[in-house]
Structure 1
Amino acid sequence: MSTPIYIIEEKKLRRNLTLIADVAAKADIEIILAFKAFALWKTFPIFREYINSTTASSLSEARLAFEEFGALAHTYSPAYTDDEFDEIVRCSSHLTFNSLSQYERFHDRAKGCSLGLRINPEYSEVETLLYNPCAPGTRFGVSADKLPEILPEAIEGFHCHCHCESGADVFQRSLAHIEEKFSRWFPQLKWINFGGGHLMTRKDYDVDLLIQMMKQFHERYPWLKIILEPGSAFAWQTGPLVSHVVDVVEDKGIRTAILDVSFTCHMPDCLEMPYYPEVRFANHIDSESGEHVYRLGGNSCLSGDFMSSWQFDHELEIGEEVIFEDMIHYTTVKTNTFNGISHPAIGMLREDGTLEILRRFCYEDYRNRMD
């Protein structure tokens, strides 16, 4: 295709879903999809073959769960508001409050939902502060020293999130802190949600350790239902973003291949995290000089909309593809139309090899956001 496009590959998606469903069955836990990392709702019929629920953090996500996934959401938000709360309740089976004050303000209106409270274990190994939910001064959750010995009557669960694309070994260390600080309240609960960031579909993830940990947790607290809500794990390495070279420019000996996609618009985590994406048929290097070495530049007017540097095995030509690997999780939900930059199309590569275009974007999509 001549247009840029995100391509989710059905075979790889089903591979991940099969592994996740297998972990859930062997560990006797529920694993649900977090929309904050993946929300391509046209793929939900596939997801429903493997999982039963999703997690939402806004009214729009809760509606997506109810109306498109076909199941009530496990909902958590840092701040529920009066005008949206009743509609969120309508779309939710579980509803977690970020603070005791939010609980006091809204719990009487949450009829029919199993209510939870987010806790802060004050421990996380996430090194990038932008993504660390337990960093000092965090706005997320209640620390143990602020909880009453007897929980509010309607609280049935705890929700804890302190990982980001982490391994089972990290979860093992985090779990020790969670139990040390909060296990004395477990007899008052029915469920515990250990949040997201459990990257169980990554090749080096110790799936057996995760299953063992959850089985042992069940032995210690057999009355507690265990929930995990990863996002990245579902769509991890399920497809690329295909872009094209529009121009090649040079300044001070640095060559930049300008593409028809943008880092700030279409791959924002690359700049925020930051991390260097894998580019097919190219190697990331530290130098900005050398044979066939290019910065890759976006097509927005933001000066910093570029990343350095990749070495190809040939001179890039206008019109040829530059393919960014693993660009489905988080990327597709965080895109924006800054500068009026055209949004890449979204497609699915079916198991039979056919490419189905799920969505193309046009001027009206940009215009209507400004309406």
Structure 2
Amino acid sequence: MRLSTPYYLIDEARMLPAMERIRLVQERSGAKCVLALKCFSSWCAFDFMRQYLVGTTSSSLWETRLGHEKFGGETHGYSVAYADDEIAEVAGYCDKIIFNSLGQLNRLGHHAAGISMGLRLNPGIGHSCSELSNPVCQYSRLGVRAEELPEDIGSRIQGAMIHVNCDNDDLASFCSQLDVIEERFGKLLPHLQWLSFGGGIAFTDEAYPIDDFCRRLREFSQRHSLEIYLEPGEAAVTHSTSLVVKVLDVVENEVPTLVVDAGVETHLLDVLTYGYTPEVDGAEPLARDAKDLGGRAGHVYRICGRTCLAGDHFGNYVFPRPVALGDELRFPNVGGYSMVKKNYFNGIRMPAIYHRNLSGELRLVQQPTYEDFREALTNTHLV
């Protein structure tokens, strides 16, 4: 059956390798893994994913509630800043709640009485693909530095979260972080029951040295008598989800440009934010900033979206064959930070979301309508 484009397709069979790696890491390291909902919150897949992850971690009240209601297991609540009128509700959903600053902990911590309370720490060292996503950049507001901690902090919290990675596939880099954490927070660690290393660690990649990773985690856990958590987001859904689009027009200029029925800013926002080129099935990606795209074997195209943004540009690619009007193109690795960031800019059709389970059964889980677009910004009620 040919589905109407554009659409996202979440495929459990393609998600399975990452899930199995997550299971393996938990078994060998003793660490627990919770899904980072900020990256992927399409709960149509939660029945499958809860077989491998022990729960969820969140960045807001609504994510916390979603994890509690739709995933179950452990629910970890975190926010850069909780509002006074939401903290009690957040605490009601959580098994563990993590405050970002001493100010928030001091002012709102009493709402978390009876659940395990944590504080985000900033060790001043991390690994990021971009300064935009660097949690330990200059003037960072994310977490508390060692020199800022009061002497009695170990008696006031049960755990901590240290999230300093983004797209980190370098085990040596992660191990050096552990050394710095031990050096800078050595006095605090004996007072804690649990420690989360956050997300951004690419341990589900096939080339990642998973045995050494597990050994290092287990050694750290045993040395400090800590329960360790990891918060995979991208690592949990890598290669699991496609965005399928159709060519609506071919604009002939210096390089033929394929205009598709989706947009970068609307449907793959991180491509625009971080300036990378997403994979396309059956095509070879070229540099985004290439000045000369001619003189190559094959058929070179720019793929662009149909919004009015001049820079609505997915990337430059070489195809082994000509691409024609009506052809479908497939971006095969868009599970992370795509569906959670999609928006109605230009009012173009929002992609449907399909879900295929391990048995191969395909179901439509969301078909956005004009009414969804219409009501997104104005749905008038008397107050």
Q: Could you tell me which residue of structure 2 aligns to residue 215 of structure 1?
A: 218
C-alpha contact 1:282 1:312 (8 A) present in aligned 2: yes
Q: Could you tell me which residue of structure 2 aligns to residue 333 of structure 1?
A: 340
Q: Distance in 2 between matches of 1:13 and 1:62?
A: 23
Match of 2:70 among 54, 62, 68: 68
Code of the residue aligned with 1:136 in structure 2: it is Q
Q: Could you tell me which residue of structure 2 aligns to residue 265 of structure 1?
A: 266
Aligned length: 369
Matched, 1:274 2:268: no
Match of 1:198 among 184, 193, 201: 201
C-alpha contact 1:32 1:228 (8 A) present in aligned 2: yes
Q: Distance in 2 between matches of 1:352 and 1:216?
A: 39
Q: Could you tell me which residue of structure 1 aligns to residue 124 of structure 2?
A: 122
Higher mean alpha-carbon deviation, 153-162 vs 136-145, is at: 153-162
Deviation at 1:72, TM superposition (A): 4.9
| Paired residues for 1:236-255 under 5 Å | 236-251=238-253, 253-255=254-256
Instruction: State the TM-score, normalized to the length of structure 2.
Output: 0.93
C-alpha contact 1:72 1:91 (8 A) present in aligned 2: no
C-alpha contact 1:94 1:116 (8 A) present in aligned 2: yes
Match of 2:188, SS state, is helix
Deviation at 1:152, TM superposition (A): 5.9
Q: Distance in 2 between matches of 1:51 and 1:316?
A: 41
| Paired residues for 1:123-138 under 5 Å | 123-138=125-140
Q: Distance in 1 between matches of 2:129 and 2:52?
A: 32
Deviation at 1:161, TM superposition (A): 0.5
Q: Distance in 1 between matches of 2:93 and 2:13?
A: 31
Match of 2:340, SS state, is helix
Deviation at 1:190, TM superposition (A): 1.0
Matched, 1:313 2:316: no
Q: Could you tell me which residue of structure 1 aligns to residue 362 of structure 2?
A: 355
Q: Could you tell me which residue of structure 1 aligns to residue 302 of structure 2?
A: 295
C-alpha contact 1:288 1:295 (8 A) present in aligned 2: no
Q: CA RMSD in A?
A: 1.5
C-alpha contact 2:14 2:239 (8 A) present in aligned 1: yes
Code of the residue aligned with 1:317 in structure 2: it is A
Match of 1:334, SS state, is coil
Q: Could you tell me which residue of structure 2 aligns to residue 365 of structure 1?
A: 372
Unpaired segments ≥5 residues, structure 2: 379-383
Matched, 1:184 2:187: yes
Instruction: State the TM-score, normalized to the length of structure 1.
Output: 0.96
Code of the residue aligned with 1:326 in structure 2: it is N
Code of the residue aligned with 1:196 in structure 2: it is G
Percent of aligned positions with the same letter in both sequences? 37
Residues 60 and 22 from structure 1, CA distance in 2 versus in 1: closer, same or farther, beyond 3 angstroms?
Answer: same
- The Cα offsets for residues 38-67 of structure 1, whole Å up to 9 and x where unpaired, read as 111111111222222110110110110111
Q: Distance in 2 between matches of 1:185 and 1:350?
A: 44
Deviation at 1:351, TM superposition (A): 2.8
Match of 1:32, SS state, is strand
Match of 1:108, SS state, is helix
C-alpha contact 1:192 1:225 (8 A) present in aligned 2: yes
Deviation at 1:201, TM superposition (A): 1.2
Match of 1:19 among 1, 21, 32: 21
Q: Distance in 2 between matches of 1:18 and 1:127?
A: 26
Q: Distance in 1 between matches of 2:340 and 2:228?
A: 27
